[in-house]
Amino acid sequence: MIRRRLRSLLLALGLGGAVAIALPVHAGPFEDALPLAVDPLLRSSAREVLERAFDNLYGCDLAERVELVTTKRGEVVRRHEVTLARKRIDGLTHTLLDYRMGNELYGLRSLRIERRRGSHDRFLFLPELGRVRRFGSAQRADQVLGTNLHFVDLEARHIDDFAIVGRSVETLGGERVHRLVVEPLLDLHYRYAEVWIEPAHYAIREVRYHREKGGPPSRSIRAPSEEMVPFPDRVLPSHWIIEDHETGVRTDVYFRRIRVGPALADSLFSLRTLVATPRLPIFRD
């Protein structure tokens, strides 16, 4: 019966003399002969998913105000305000951070300049010394004073800095998401991380850092879905919740006045800016 129906269909399409049909001797319903359906979230490779997630978060020039509020046992212990500027110059990402609040970090600035080969250049302007110091690659994992935010958290990431060692489809906040397991190829403060990526815009919703294989996360960064901000070509977080699960310290990172694709001069990303400019000419107030 199945053979006759298929042949009749092919004859109707004018293909009866050109195609040979072979079915198993003990074939059941026609649906049983079809391949199993592939989960739509698994049709893209793990590398493509991570590339698109990094492009969504880091693949644009950007200026924004960043407020850090650190609490321990429910009590606020630190507040920081940072102006962040990021620009791609000749295909390489330059990132400038300017700390502006009445505390021990006031006036501190950092500049990261990507290099095509070798280590990237990182510089810190220390206001108490009035001079610039080179910032070693190993210090990228250092925490911003009094918080559990690491300097590297605000830097652009690249897929070639990680090895993807696992993937799955999971549920996060009632939504099906990609879960990738990655290992850093540089010696940082964790052994591997789980990266949770929503499929609609490839926004990174959560990262869980692990010090030991199979152990609980030591630290996590979560971006609440209801606080994501849509732009024409991407979706960006307006709030990170960073939790240190070993010390109980929590830092809320608020991204305010987000400007995608601002007009930033190349000269802004220079050692001269670190020292000579009293206030970055990004926001007027």
> What's the token pair of residue 235?
């979706």
CATH number at residue 89: 2.50.20.10
pLDDT of residue 29: 46
Number of domains in the chain: 2
For residue 216, the tally of other CB atoms under 10 A from its CB is 10
The reply to whether 213 and 120 lie within a common domain is yes
pLDDT of residue 35: 54
185 in a structural domain:
yes
Residue 269's contacts (CB-CB under 8 Å, 6 or more residues apart) are 85, 87, 89, 94, 96, 111, 113
The reply to whether 134 and 177 lie within a common domain is yes
The reply to whether 17 and 113 lie within a common domain is no
pLDDT of residue 187: 65
DSSP code of 53? Answer: H
The reply to whether 51 and 125 lie within a common domain is yes
pLDDT of residue 284: 61
The reply to whether 161 and 86 lie within a common domain is yes
Which helix (DSSP H) or strand (DSSP E) does residue 120 occupy?
none
The reply to whether 62 and 137 lie within a common domain is yes
pLDDT of residue 101: 66
| pLDDT lower than 70: segments of the chain | 1-38, 101-105, 118, 136-146, 187, 276-279, 281, 283-285
The reply to whether 8 and 30 lie within a common domain is yes
pLDDT of residue 206: 97
282 in a structural domain:
no
pTM higher than the cut 0.85 = no
Buried b (16+ CB within 10 A) or exposed e, 78-110: bebbbbbbbbeeeeebbbbbbbbeeeebeebbb
163 in a structural domain:
yes
CA distance 196 to 176: 10
Which helix (DSSP H) or strand (DSSP E) does residue 115 occupy?
none
Q: Provide the residue range defining the domain that includes 17.
A: 2-34
204 in a structural domain:
yes
Which has the closest alpha carbon to 144: 221, 61, 82?
Answer: 82
CA distances to 21, 33, 36, 278 from 26, rounded to whole Å, are 15, 11, 19, 82
pLDDT of residue 265: 92
Which has the closest alpha carbon to 210: 228, 191, 226, 229?
Answer: 191
CA distance 132 to 122: 10
The reply to whether 124 and 260 lie within a common domain is yes
23 in a structural domain:
yes
> What's the token pair of residue 101?
């609040």
